[in-house]
Chains A and B, each alone.
Chain A
Amino acid sequence: MYKYFLVARNTWDETLAYRLNFVMWRVRTILQLLTMYFLWLAIIPQSSSFLSYSRDLMLTYILGTSLISSLVLSSRTYEVGDNINNGTLSNFLLRPINFFLYHFARDAGDKAMNIFFSLGELTILYLLLRPPIFFQTNIETLLLSLFAALLALLLYFFINLLLGFIGFWSPEVWAPRFIFITILTFFAGGLFPLDILPKPIFSIIELLPFTYLLYFPLKIYLGQLMLSEIFKGLMISGFWTVIFYFIARLVWQKGLRIYTAYGR
């Protein structure tokens, strides 16, 4: 297992090798966060609510998406498609290393970096802005929320691998990914909490895997879900995670059969 730890650590070091790039990326993240924050601050007047969300719940949701997405939505798996197309995938196939675990370790390194800096930034922002934030104090709720986020992390990982595996059949791996990202930002609840949508639409979205990436763990954190709703959600997201894992494995095995290792 130590080898996968090394992969994670190397990924961390690699990110830090480009200092300017790194700083700019963090600045971008903070700016995005501030934009959303001030937008909602302006929309909801003090001590009133907007579509059943009070001001502090909404602001917690917005700041929370930033933290959860640094845990769930940060990934290096976009490299997989390129690896296949330029033949560097051979490097993994030649060594006794599990490709899925290798990339998971790489993601872990990336995520650790993300969370580390996100937490730091959020703390600073909190101290500067003193926003009205809702703190969940129930340990059980917190743990459930964390568990939902970990499940989301796995789900997102397998979906991303699958998008990369398109590379086995087509060199055009980026177009499907862009569509996916566009769909994702909306359906995962990265822009606003999804339950402000009309009920019929929401009940369909609820069955899709995307909802469980951001919206669901945050909803648990805010304490707005009943235990039965939480379990239903965990079932659905667990179901999708298992499904995507098996599809990813199947596609990986099929893909290897037609892998040509060209370019190297």
Chain B
Amino acid sequence: MKTIEVKNLKKFYQIYKKDAGFWGSVKSFAVRHYEEVKAVDGITFEIEEGELVGFIGPNGAGKTTTLKCLSGLLYPTDGTVQVLGYAPYERKTEFLKQISLIMGQRNQLWWDLPPMETFILNKEIYEVEDKKFRETLDELVELLDIKDILKIPVKRLSLGQRMKCELISSLLHSPRVLFLDEPTLGLDVVMQKALREFISEYNKRYHATILLTSHYMRDVEALCERVIIINHGKILFDGKLNALVKKYAPHRIVRVVLGKRVDQKEIEKLGEIKTFSYPEVILTVPHKNTGQITANILKSLPVEDLTIEEPDIEDVIRIIFQDAK
């Protein structure tokens, strides 16, 4: 049995539109024009136990809607969804005890009370044993470094501190399947890195299945071997991250630092110039000719330094989305 199985999932919303301003409000009060929005429009994929998959797409692509369908918040308009063998929207207790949906902008913490109160309540809700609860909590508190804020009312905490507490409250029951929607939102770079390491560690140690969306390609790059790319509710790509790069960006980046000035035309002969601001030249070269071209560059240019890089993942994604338009 696959941990996650999605077949031809569709989720459509009814929304009404309103023109801006007072007159728009009056018009919309009298007559409402409803429109159907196809947030998710027939997607199919499977995820094995223990996989860590990145879910990528621009704003409004349908990522969050898919996660909400997988975690049982939404009824699918059409198609079937199975997670751990359960139909998520039935929201069976055994199912809910094994999953967690973490959203960058969620708030399950009790606003006026210290975070510890929410943790204790969640311990009871998920029926976590005392010893296990202590261990998990200590571990998470240690990792996220928030020992000193556990007794401060949530409303006094900073956004980052709150995010960390939200994260802890969502992980106290050690879920087997994790849905992470923009988990690094609102965290500083140090925390982003710590969180990435934590997710990776969590995935390995508990063999947990994780599906993650993020706008920061760094997150995806650092964590996921496999990515699913979605736009306008449809899947554009599903496969290994490096296969994606090869498929959509069959080139590499050669970065050269020149020892003295060279005419731009000289360089153009060797390969396509991406940027040129003396002393640095950046060339894009076809994947398979990289060796040949670098040899030529070294031969004919006054090279001080040369590096070969894979194309930036963000550029690759941009290419895909622009092509899709």
Q: Complex: how many Å from CA A7 to CA B96?
A: 19
Judge whether B68 is part of the interface by a CB distance below 8 angstroms: yes
A residues contacting B by CB (< 8 A) are 2-3, 6-7, 10, 13-14, 17-18, 88, 90-91, 93-97, 256-261, 264
Say which residue of B91, B110, B113, B125 sits within 8 Å of A93 (CB atoms): B91
Asked if A264 contacts B125 (CB within 8 A), the reply is: no
Report the minimum CB–CB distance from B176 to chain A (whole Å): 14
Asked if A264 contacts B105 (CB within 8 A), the reply is: yes
Say which residue of A95, A256, A258 sits within 8 Å of B125 (CB atoms): A95
Asked if B120 contacts A260 (CB within 8 A), the reply is: no
Q: Complex: how many Å from CA A18 to CA B153?
A: 12
Judge whether B27 is part of the interface by a CB distance below 8 angstroms: no
Q: Complex: how many Å from CA A258 to CA B89?
A: 12
Judge whether B213 is part of the interface by a CB distance below 8 angstroms: no
Q: What number of A-B contacts does a CB cutoff of 8 Å give?
A: 65
Report the minimum CB–CB distance from B181 to chain A (whole Å): 9
Report the minimum CB–CB distance from B199 to chain A (whole Å): 19
How many chain B residues touch A (Cβ–Cβ < 8 Å)?
Answer: 31
Asked if A96 contacts B112 (CB within 8 A), the reply is: no
| Residues from chain B with Cβ under 8 Å of A14 in the complex | 110, 112-113
Known: A13-B113, A14-B110, A18-B112. A259 touches B73 (CB 8 A): yes
Asked if B100 contacts A94 (CB within 8 A), the reply is: yes
Say which residue of B71, B75, B93 sits within 8 Å of A257 (CB atoms): B75
Q: Which 7 pairs across A and B sit closest by C-beta, in order of nearness? A: A3-B124, A17-B112, A96-B96, A96-B93, A91-B108, A261-B73, A14-B112
Say which residue of A18, A95, A257, A264 sits within 8 Å of B96 (CB atoms): A95
| Residues from chain B with Cβ under 8 Å of A91 in the complex | 106-108
| Residues from chain A with Cβ under 8 Å of B73 in the complex | 90, 93-94, 259, 261
Known: A90-B73, A95-B96, A259-B74. A13 touches B117 (CB 8 A): yes
Q: Complex: how many Å from CA A91 to CA B72?
A: 11
| Residues from chain B with Cβ under 8 Å of A260 in the complex | 13, 74
Q: Complex: how many Å from CA A95 to CA B120?
A: 14
Judge whether B103 is part of the interface by a CB distance below 8 angstroms: yes
Known: A256-B75, A264-B105, A264-B106. A7 touches B112 (CB 8 A): no
**Selected A-B contacts with CB under 8 Å, 11 pairs:** A3-B125, A13-B113, A91-B107, A93-B72, A93-B73, A94-B71, A94-B72, A96-B93, A97-B125, A259-B73, A259-B74
Asked if B126 contacts A95 (CB within 8 A), the reply is: yes
Report the minimum CB–CB distance from B92 to chain A (whole Å): 8
| Residues from chain A with Cβ under 8 Å of B126 in the complex | 95-96
Judge whether B97 is part of the interface by a CB distance below 8 angstroms: yes
Say which residue of A10, A17, A257, A259 sits within 8 Å of B121 (CB atoms): A10
* B 112-135 to A, binary, CB cutoff 8 A, 1 in contact else 0: 110001001110111000000000
Q: Complex: how many Å from CA A14 to CA B112?
A: 6
Asked if A261 contacts B96 (CB within 8 A), the reply is: no
Judge whether B101 is part of the interface by a CB distance below 8 angstroms: yes
| Residues from chain A with Cβ under 8 Å of B122 in the complex | 95
